[in-house]
Structure 1
Amino acid sequence: MSEQHSRARHRRGRKALAAGVPLALTASGVLAYGTDLGLFGADAQQRAAAATAAAPAWATATADGFASVNSLGQNGTYGGRDGQIVTVKTQADLEKYATAAEPYVIVVAGTINMNPVGKEIKVQPDKTIVGAGTSGHIVGGGFFLGQGVHNVIIRNLTIRDAYQGIWNDKDHDFDAVQMDGAHHVWIDHNELRHMADGLIDVRKDSTNVTVSWNKLSQNNKTFGIGWTENVKTDITVHHNWIRETEQRNPSTDNAAHAHLYNNFLEDVAGTDIKSSYGNYSRGKTKMVLENSYFQGMNNPVTKDSTATLVQKGNTFVGTSGRNESGGTAFDPKSFYGYTLDRTADVPALLKSGAGPRSSIGTTSAAAAGTKAATTLTVAKDGSGQYSTVQAAVNAVPANNASRVVIAVKPGTYRETVKVPSNKPHVTIQGTGGSRKETVIVYNNASGTPKPGGGTYGTGGSATVAVEADDFQARNLTISNDFDEKANQNLSGHQAVALRTAADKVFLDGIITEGDQDTLLLDTAAKDRLGRVYMKNSYVTGNVDFIFGRASAVIDRSVITLKKRWDGTSAGYVTAPSTAANRKGILIANSAVNGDVSASSFYLGRPWHAGGDATLDPQTTVRNTTLGAAVKSTPWTDMSGFSWKDDRFAEYKNTGAGAGGASGDRPHLTDAQAAGQEVADWLGDWTPTAS
């Protein structure tokens, strides 16, 4: 959809991207560059073993919703991704690895018949249990997660047929997944059916649970939550297809926060199973129910007088009986980011997308759509295949069809690196325990003389230049340490650390350091799309240090403001040069601060490169903590172009540098903000680590 030339132009993205907000960012307005892995926690940490192994994306996937929230000493849910990937085909092997103390990614390849019937394997922390494509079946049993068990992913499995012939069975407590006091659990893309008791039981203060994209069917009790007098459970239930089930769809008892959205509850006419009720808010539960679709259900939404239930955007077709709401609940986006699909789209979306996927749990080219990655190692001490990063890039075959991971061992690599456009699918990844341990650095500036004559210019000054699509960088530092004070004689002081001029660039857990023009996010040409997604990262600079014409997202990151070479505090965070009808720069769920004077930095100004009046620069800063360094009028003009003629806006920012809406400080409305989320920037691309 084309956008007209005004500040209120938006569209809803078709795909959601997990964008949970780290509590460390939202709770503080005084964050500055200095810490490393601790701020972003487990989602940003990259172990050396994982770096060199180039694990498939499904083995490193992380949860969204309440399972992504930092609490109880666990920052997000990532399962066994830091451990070995093992394949099991027997109950004995499944139990061996699921009950081990070490982290594992356990791939179930085939049908495992549980003996005795009703056996529930007692899963220990730090496990991912995933079906190999659609072949992973657990028959006649399931999984039990006991007190304190945490960081568990159960994904892409079919768990079925523990049914013992008694519909309301009080004697056989055979569940697909049962939790008693567990936390940080993600149940995703499974098919659960025909069990003796419940399909999913979340009991006894279990919390930080996300249940997503499952098919739940052919059962009496679908999904029970609670069974405690305490009010502790935080749970997200989204994109589940619940059909031919009688009760607990789900029943949510004494949950502190229950967020249900984009679920499809279906009572099929003419079948033996009749729904008793649908979503039920019991006890002291606070429930938010959004954009779900109820078809043929009896009593689709019910609540106790002591519970609260807020409904938004739900659809009811052929339903009867109780449909209730009341009270105030909570704002889910104060805990994590999410994107709602249109309610009308939910039935078709879940019929095609819920349940096990052939692309999860397998590395075959036919199922995964890609070949295994090739790994090239770089080490300054000669222990790798190459001693420089550029040498490894040079070794990548031209027009390579599959991923090449350049695993860079800790050290400082003083060199410039260019990834040319004919070498796509390249990942440069540091293998150290910290992104500070692997550093690529150089000191060219725009005015630095080139060998053979001339100067480098702004783009040519980059320490690392990426011109190839589908590039990734993670767990390293990219720096330009040009000494501006010592080079006042040079005509151009712009000194780029990282330049991207490509599409689908994923920057995950990196540091980019510089002064002026640190991070140039460009496209291959003015009429070419160039999407960049940066998360869990740091960007440091002072003048226009995030700039260019790419459609770029800076998400869950720290933007650190730095004094200029002479010790003064003044600068500009962004300088977008967006083409008309394109997305510009989006800063979301992040923090902007630094050791600089109060009210000394603008959030941005419009860069009409070359005086091009057809450009329509855009920066949106939303759900971000702004330190006192940010000016109360955060946008300014540039080179004769007024920022008010372009696209600059904020939404729900916090901190000492935040401020109310005015003519000099535009804020998006809720409706406008719904079209300026991460997914709207990325379109049909979902960045995935590989």
Structure 2
Amino acid sequence: MRARRIWPAVLALAVIVVPGAPAHAWPGPYVTVAADGSGDFTSVQAAVDAVPAGNASTFTIKIQPGVYHGQVIVPASKPYVVFRGQGPDPSAVVITDDRANGTLKPDGTPWGTSGSASVTIDGHDFSARNLTFENAFDEAAHPEITNRQAVAVLTRADRIVFDNVRFLGNQDTLYVNSPAADVPARVYLRKCYVEGDVDFIFGRATAVFDRCRVHSLDRGSATNNGYVTAASTSIANPYGFLFSESTLTGTAPAGTVHLGRPWHPSNDPNAIAQVLIRDSKLGAHIIGAAPWTDFGAFSWRDARYAEYANRGPGAVASVDRPQLDAAAAAAMTPEAYLAGADGWNPIR
């Protein structure tokens, strides 16, 4: 489909339409994706491909209501991209794919966890608003696939914002990562919804979940229905995952979901999980006495886990639930997690 660029006339009230380029609208150029062919493109990836390499300012991709199938990759050469869903709520626009770690590529080799991602974001200063990202891999339909990690979104860039976005999947739904183990990357999620079961929020990025809903699915177990987090924060990074004023819900039975376990990729001893859950409501599905657990040979006690001022049936007093005091909590705010050396503050 064609893209168009609209320029204001200098000496008249008319506009000049130049085919093959994006329209201009504040705060920058944009293109429209529509599944029915009424926009500039019918696929999200085609719109991303139209963003100029080395883009230096906001480039908006407006996505009309519909379901958009196929992997989407925003490369490192295309920063400042915005996905903006045009529907009345996030469910109206769905970007989806259905491959898992063990799904085979055309060459017969597996995709792997990172390769399973429906959407991969490598361009910095990316943002998405009012839409849904999904990995629709059907575990029951594929009993032959045992490596079932199926990522809806993988981020590997800095200064990423998700606003009123849904992330749907089962195992490994949201992979917030960085370009390298010693390179920090920040992600801000505002009023988002994330669902899954096993390690469904994981990685080494610094990620703030601000007023989000985090929903644990029922895996059919009477004792263990998964782990909300599997952080792999670098020991050099004081800030991993922060859940602030959020709500943890679940369809899993009471007392069967862990808050997290420490992931050490390739047995990296310097991946020391950091997770703080504060001022949040925890449902009855969360294990009460010992919600943090080991990951293989790595003990949760060596990780940096803490809570502060939580409430709800899943927030109970226990010696195995480390708590911050008021002074420490005052320094562990969303602003502190995200500021970095450049003072970034996307919070609103």
User: Does the residue aligned with 1:650 lie in a helix, a strand or coil?
Assistant: strand
Give, in angstroms, the shift of residue 512 of structure 1. 0.3
**Larger relative contact order (CA 8 Å, sep ≥ 6):** 1
- Tell me which residue corresponds to 1:630: 286
Structure-2 separation of matches of 1:667 and 1:518? 27
What is the Cα deviation at residue 581 of structure 1?
A: 2.2
* 1:470 maps onto 2:129 in alignment: no
Structure 1 stretches of at least 4 aligned residues deviating more than 4 Å after TM superposition:
565-569
- In 2, Cα distance between equivalents of 1:653 and 1:567: 25
Separation in 2, partners of 1:625, 1:501: 29
TM-superposition CA deviations, 1:545-572 (whole Å, max 9, x none): 0000000111101001101278986110
Q: 2:103 aligns with which of 448, 456, 472?
A: 448
Distance 1:600 1:390 in 2: 39
Instruction: Provide the TM-score with structure 2 as the length reference.
Output: 0.89
Equivalent residues in 2 for 1:650-665 (5 A)? 650-662=307-319, 664-665=320-321
The answer to whether the 8 Å contact 1:547/1:576 transfers is yes
The counterpart of 1:686, out of the listed 342, 345, 348, is 345
**1:523-565 Cα deviation digits (max 9, x unpaired):** 0111211000001110000000000000011110100110127
Distance 1:661 1:675, change over 3 A: farther
* Other structure's SS at 1:544 match: coil
| Correspondences of 1:193-592 after superposition (within 5 Å) | 372-564=27-219, 570-582=225-237, 583-592=239-248
What letter matches 1:680 in structure 2?
Answer: A
Amino acid at match of 1:618: Q
Greater CA drift, 598-607 or 446-455: 446-455
Count of residue correspondences: 318
Deviation at 1:396, TM superposition (A): 0.3
Give 1:585 deviation, angstroms: 0.7
SS of corresponding position for 2:175: strand
TM superposition shift of 1:596: 1.3
User: In structure 1, what is the Cα distance between the partners aligned to 2:148 and 2:271?
Assistant: 25
Please say if residues 222 and 253 of structure 2, whose CA atoms lie closer than 8 Å, have aligned partners that are also in contact. Answer: no
Report the equivalent of 1:605.
Answer: 261
Q: Higher Cα Rg: structure 1 or 2?
A: 1
CA offsets 1:349-381 (integer angstroms, 9 cap, x no match): xxxxxxxxxxxxxxxxxxxxxx83111100011
Structure 1 residues 128-172: Cα deviation after superposition (integer angstroms, max 9, x where no partner) = xxxxxxxxxxxxxxxxxxxxxxxxxxxxxxxxxxxxxxxxxxxxx
Separation (CA, whole Å) in 2 of partners of 1:446 and 1:678: 32
Shift of 1:462: 0.5
| 5+ long unaligned stretches in structure 1 | 1-370
How far the C-alpha of 1:628 sits from its partner, in A, is 0.4
Distance 2:334 2:65 in 1: 32
Q: Take 1:614 and 1:537, find their aligned partners in 2: how far apart are those partners?
A: 30
- Which amino acid in structure 1 is aligned with residue 292 of structure 2? W
Counterpart CA distance in 2 for 1:688 and 1:656 is: 29
Give, in whole Å, the separation in 2 of the partners of 1:575 and 1:545. 8
Using the alignment, how far apart are the partners of 1:420 and 1:532 within structure 2?
A: 17
Structure 1 residues 572-593: Cα deviation after superposition (integer angstroms, max 9, x where no partner): 0000000012111111100001
Aligned to 1:510, the other structure's residue is in SS state: strand
Does the CA contact (< 8 Å) of 2:202 and 2:230 recur in 1?
A: yes
User: What code does the residue aligned with 1:686 have?
Assistant: N
C-alpha spacing 1:568/1:562, structure 2 compared with 1 (3 Å): farther
Question: How far is 1:416 from its partner?
Answer: 0.9
Report how far residue 395 of structure 1 moved.
0.3
Which residue of the partner structure matches residue 7 of structure 2?
none
Provide structure 2 residue ranges, at least 5 long, that are not aligned to the other structure.
1-25
Contact map agreement 2:64 2:87 (CA 8 A) in 1: yes
Q: Any conservation in 2 of the 1:464–1:499 contact (CA below 8 Å)? A: yes
Contact 1:515–1:564 (Cα < 8 Å) also in 2: no
Any idea what SS the aligned residue of 2:90 has?
A: coil
Q: 1: distance between equivalents of 2:220 and 2:121?
A: 28
Looking at structure 2, the residues matched to 645 and 381 of structure 1 have their Cα atoms a distance apart, in angstroms, of 53
Q: Which residue identity lines up with residue 153 of structure 2 in the other structure?
A: L
Shift of 1:491: 3.2
What is the identity, as a one-letter code, of the residue corresponding to 2:179?
A
> Residue 145 of structure 2: SS of its match in structure 1?
coil
Q: Could you tell me which amino acid in structure 2 is paired with residue 648 of structure 1?
A: Y
Opposite residue 209 of structure 2, the aligned amino acid is: I
Deviation at 1:603, TM superposition (A): 0.4
Give the match's secondary structure for 2:141.
helix
SS of corresponding position for 1:459: helix
Query: What is the alpha-carbon distance in structure 2 between the residues aligned to residue 513 and residue 569 of structure 1?
Result: 20
> Which amino acid letter does the alignment assign opposite residue 42 of structure 2?
S
Counterpart of 2:260, as a letter, is: G
Determine the structure 2 residue equivalent to 1:362.
Answer: none
After superposition, what is the alpha-carbon deviation per residue over 1:610-665, rounded to whole angstroms, capped at 9, x for unaligned?
10112211111000000000001110000200111110010000000001252x11
**Residue identity (%):** 45
* Amino acid aligned to 1:652: A
- What letter matches 2:243 in structure 1? I
RMSD value, Cα: 1.5
**Contact 2:335 2:347 (8 Å CA) reproduced:** no
Q: 1:538 is aligned with what amino acid?
A: Y
Tell me the CA shift for residue 402 of structure 1.
0.8
What is the correspondence of 1:65-214 to structure 2 with a 5 Å cutoff? none
Tell me what 2:296 maps to. Answer: 639
Name the SS of the counterpart of 2:113 in structure 1: helix
Which one-letter code corresponds to 1:687 in the other structure? P
